[in-house]
Structure 1
Amino acid sequence: MTADTKTRHVVLSGCSGGGKSTLLAELSRRGFATVPEPGRRIVAQEMDGVGAALPWVNMEIFARRAMELARTDRQQVATVEGWVFFDRGLVDAALALEHACGASVATTLDPSERYHDVVFLTPPWPEIYRQNTERRHSYAQAIDEYTRLRAGYLMLGYDIVVLPKTDVAARADFIVARLGCA
């Protein structure tokens, strides 16, 4: 993966239930390459099987699987030209692992695994937050996660841009304008 390619890998992170997946779908509709959230894919797979890697069963196993999947995702889009948007990714998984078992992000992430310097965070937004069979944590837990993610990305030297609480088209317009990738 070239340095230029990595600089076009953009993470959408932030509060669970904050609209990341909806935003990713809008960016895909506009022709951008996108990568779905590793955690959602793991939860769907685990709910169809044994369920040992579910975050509410064993967060450490879940986070380790999410890291593996995020690394695979990066490899699969390494040759894509243009902007690639990730619904969460390797940093989110590494921060979840650190929270689950204390494994330092400094030891689980390689500096060569950086994404674009600007990370877009969806803020806590109670009006759209919903629990369901795949998102079992409370809104308060989602806010705690958001706080950890924001602090973690800042600690790693990323430029945090908090997305406005507005409709999905306006959010996508905001990102495209901020990156200059119209």
Structure 2
Amino acid sequence: MQKHAKIVILGGPGTGKTSVLNELAKRGYHCLPEVSREIIQQAQKEGIEQLFLTQPLLFSEKLLEGRIRQFHEAEEISAPVFIDRGIPDVTAYMDFKKEKYPDSFIEANKNYKYDQAFILPIWDEIYESDTERYENLQQAKDIEKHLMNTYEDLGYQLIEVPKLSIAQRADFIIDNLNQ
């Protein structure tokens, strides 16, 4: 594994990404959290319940900015870094919502490349909505399709993480890191 490897953990909403990343962090790996919750919570403090639903382009611009910042942060860490969602997730979600976005979003997908991508598939039995996750299960499945298409169109070889316990999923990811 290269010194500054950037490993993106992706998947539809409610697939256990944060739980797996927390497990990896407990094991001493560098992990960067999902930035969208921070943006959503800030908007909620300002009285906007769901910024993505009311102003999808503004939300996505803030999200893209945060994910690019994380990408640069990962480059400064001299060890592999696991990142909760990546830059291409922004355009995948915009495509899901059938929203237009500037070419700069597509350029960001091309200019900032992750070294490896793991996808956690939708798992009906563990799916839950919460105050930041508004999607129902069918919408989550649709988002997953958009994510897979976006990453595959960019040339990523997605590695599907099996539906196992959190610890076993973390083990799978560690065991399947590029050497």
Q: TM-score, normalised by structure 2?
A: 0.89
Counterpart position of 1:24 = 21
Within a 5 Å distance, the mapping from 1:4-23 to structure 2 comes to 8-23=5-20
Counterpart position of 1:123 = 121
**Amino acid aligned to 2:112:** E
Q: Which runs of 5+ in 2 are unaligned?
A: none
Counterpart position of 1:101 = 100
Alignment counterpart, residue 48 of structure 1, candidates 45, 48, 56:
45
8 A contact 2:92–2:143 mirrored in 1:
no
Q: Which runs of 5+ in 1 are unaligned?
A: none
Q: CA RMSD in A?
A: 2.1
8 A contact 2:6–2:74 mirrored in 1:
no
Counterpart position of 2:139 = 141
**Amino acid aligned to 2:8:** V
2:104 equivalent to 1:113: no
CA distance in 2, matches of 1:140, 1:82: 37
Shift in Å, 1:52? 7.9
Moved over 6 A (4+): none
CA gap 1:127/1:110 in 2 versus in 1, 3 angstroms: closer
CA distance in 1, matches of 2:109, 2:141: 27
Within a 5 Å distance, the mapping from 1:163-174 to structure 2 comes to 163-174=161-172
- Secondary structure, in 3 states, of the residue corresponding to 2:126? coil
**Amino acid aligned to 1:152:** T
Alignment counterpart, residue 67 of structure 2, candidates 61, 67, 70:
70
Alignment counterpart, residue 61 of structure 1, candidates 58, 62, 71:
58
Residues 154-178 of structure 1: CA deviation (Å, up to 9, x unaligned): 0000011111111010000000000
